[in-house]
Structure 1
Amino acid sequence: MSDADPLEAVDVPAVRERLVAWYRDDHRPFPWRETTDPYEILVSEVMSQQTQLSRVVTAFEAFVDRWPTTATLADADRGEVVAFWTDHSLGYNNRAKYLHEAAIQIEEEYDGEFPRYPDDLTDLMGVGPYTANAVASFAFNNGDAVVDTNVKRVLYRAFGVPDDDDAFERVARKLLPDGESRVWNNAIMELGGVACGKTPRCDEASCPWRECCDAYQSGDFTAPDVPTQPDFEGSRRQMRGRIIGALGEHGEMRLDTLGHRVRVDYTPDGEYGREWLRDLLADLADDGLVEIEELGEETTARLG
């Protein structure tokens, strides 16, 4: 495996700023994102392990309404907790048992106070390293970089990180801003869930990393959990990526010169000609990715 740093040519501060701004501007309003209560965050993390987030919302709200604290959950009948889990199709019932046992631990061993750090949180029943880090990040803002399947997909596509757990961990830690694990881990997981899913939605979701993303520029959106190429050949997304790649490689380009770089069948007055290319460039200009200059009848484009 290469020792090359995938972030060597990346402006890391700018990458961080773009992602956090994108997340803060608009993200899915899950209820567990509106709280720093470690109990509620633990409940949401355990529920999310086998269930789509859209389905977790109803179960989460019902659960914390019925058992709003570790004290109430610890006092609950375990059979009722397991029955709730089954009724809401939340996956393996042993997760309900572990959650109940963790609540008892918090009350009896920690005087009702959650541990604040990932290593200590793993002492709770059923809490592994990933869940412990998530609770530390979202409740106490002192976690490490979260690396789940979505994050791996993002790092693989955007920066060419090799499909290796150690490499993913190294790059994720380097990207994480000091003291900002709450917003950063939420933001990068949102990116993987909304913009960089198995079928990418780069333009539709206004992905903030398009300008520096290897996959967006090359048009190859394979990833560790996406073994086959999505069907995007000839798509608008692919053409936008080719424009960004061409301007990044060659600098400022005249319209027709750029067109021939983007499509082999480019014909100035044809279906895939100047009008088609101007439309793509206008979209990219609206996104702040390119600049267009009109001098008489001559049009040139450059990266924004």
Structure 2
Amino acid sequence: MTESGPLPEDVSAVQSSLIEWYETDHRSFPWRETADPYRILVSEVMSQQTQLSRVEEAYHDFLDEWPDVAALAGAAQSDVVGFWSSHSLGYNNRATYLHEAAQQVRDAYDGSFPESPGELQELMGVGPYTANAVASFAFNNGDAVVDTNVKRVLHRAFAEIHNVDDPDYETVANALMPAGESRIWNNAIMELGGVACQKQPRCDEEGCPWREWCHAYQTGDFTAPDVPTQPSFEGSRRQFRGRIIRLLGEHDEMDLDTLGHRIRVDYTPDGEHGRKWLQGLLSDLSDDGLVQVEEGDDQITARLQ
């Protein structure tokens, strides 16, 4: 290790071994085959808390419908939200933000994406992680990506990370990344975490290129930070919010009880999953700017915004 931190003395060998491993063989995803910032942004937003098996099909369908940023910016927001819901892509406000970000690119940036992580964060719904990913994969202009997979890799590989209560992952990750190589490096280290350095490691099976330096491989201690699990979609509020959006997309408006009976078989107006429960879902959707709720003298109705 170097005197300045937890990196091996021959950092260049660590870097080149990982890049060679990635370039020799890696999983193929369509967003890895493009440097188009629009397509990369779509993939990043879709991938937030959504399984990649669902993302890939939705990604192709989305681009068939809206192939570039101008097409998405000119689309009706209700169509974008309806697509998001029908493909079970998680919270519908992500679709709203993506649509608004496309309009920002069209109106404020003359149709061309900004290229730095800081500028990309000015786009609606684009946080630091997504901004850095787009800057890295579209423009080769990002910092080291640090997601849960990368943290697991660094925690296992370097004893000085493994043995610190609150390690500085970002500093180590950026020191490890070759200068000006964010596109290939971030893809490679994320692939290492996703394929070889999983929660149940597959070091030898996947030919991990870091075995000779890795603290975990040398000691057999493969503990790592807890990795959040994807909450169950079946029966979740996200699932019923999606059903509401789909139904309201098919009807001009629906009254509360009709809507309730259509979205779940055990709906009873005064029951556990009744009017109060349904009004809570509609309130959330209204706060997100997706649904308009009207209270009349004898009934409550809902429609898409």
Cα 1:92/1:14, change in 2 over 3 Å: same
C-alpha contact 1:154 1:192 (8 A) present in aligned 2: yes
C-alpha contact 2:196 2:206 (8 A) present in aligned 1: yes
C-alpha contact 1:106 1:112 (8 A) present in aligned 2: yes
1:159 is matched with which residue? 158
Q: Distance in 2 between matches of 1:180 and 1:45?
A: 19
C-alpha contact 1:151 1:188 (8 A) present in aligned 2: yes
Cα 1:52/1:165, change in 2 over 3 Å: farther
C-alpha contact 1:147 1:168 (8 A) present in aligned 2: yes
> Matched residues, percent identical?
70
1:141-184 per-residue CA deviation (whole Å, 9 max, x = no partner) reads: 01001001100000000113146666101110101101110000
2:77 is matched with which residue? 78
2:192 is matched with which residue? 191
1:298 is matched with which residue? none
Q: Distance in 2 between matches of 1:90 and 1:226?
A: 21
1:244 is matched with which residue? none
Cα 1:18/1:186, change in 2 over 3 Å: same
Runs of 4+ that moved beyond 6 A: none
Q: Distance in 2 between matches of 1:187 and 1:50?
A: 21
Shift of 1:14: 0.2
Q: Distance in 2 between matches of 1:52 and 1:195?
A: 18
The unaligned stretches of length 5 or more in structure 1 are 228-304
Whichever residue aligns with residue 222 of structure 2, its letter is F
SS in structure 2 at match of 1:210 = coil
C-alpha contact 2:135 2:142 (8 A) present in aligned 1: yes
Structure-to-structure mapping, 1:169-184, within 5 angstroms: 169-184=170-185
Q: Distance in 2 between matches of 1:54 and 1:34?
A: 17
> Is 1:49–2:48 an aligned residue pair?
yes
Structure-to-structure mapping, 1:18-167, within 5 angstroms: 18-160=17-159, 161-162=161-162, 167=168
Q: Distance in 2 between matches of 1:48 and 1:37?
A: 17
Cα 1:4/1:175, change in 2 over 3 Å: closer
Relative CO higher for 1 or 2, CA cutoff 8 Å, sep ≥ 6?
A: 2
Q: Distance in 1 between matches of 2:172 and 2:125?
A: 28
1:270-303 per-residue CA deviation (whole Å, 9 max, x = no partner) reads: xxxxxxxxxxxxxxxxxxxxxxxxxxxxxxxxxx
1:200 is matched with which residue? 201
Shift of 1:10: 3.8
Cα 1:69/1:25, change in 2 over 3 Å: same
1:249-268 per-residue CA deviation (whole Å, 9 max, x = no partner) reads: xxxxxxxxxxxxxxxxxxxx
1:177-236 per-residue CA deviation (whole Å, 9 max, x = no partner) reads: 011100000000000000001111111111100111000111111101269xxxxxxxxx
Cα 1:112/1:48, change in 2 over 3 Å: same
SS in structure 2 at match of 1:223 = coil
C-alpha contact 1:19 1:187 (8 A) present in aligned 2: yes
Cα 1:118/1:164, change in 2 over 3 Å: farther
Taking structure 1 as the reference length, what is the TM-score of the superposition? 0.71
SS in structure 1 at match of 2:168 = helix
C-alpha contact 2:148 2:227 (8 A) present in aligned 1: no
Shift of 1:67: 0.3
Total equivalences in the alignment: 224
1:225 is matched with which residue? 226
C-alpha contact 1:198 1:225 (8 A) present in aligned 2: no
Shift of 1:6: 1.1
Provide the aligned C-alpha RMSD in A: 1.6
Whichever residue aligns with residue 26 of structure 2, its letter is H
1:29-76 per-residue CA deviation (whole Å, 9 max, x = no partner) reads: 100000000000000000001112222110101101110111100111
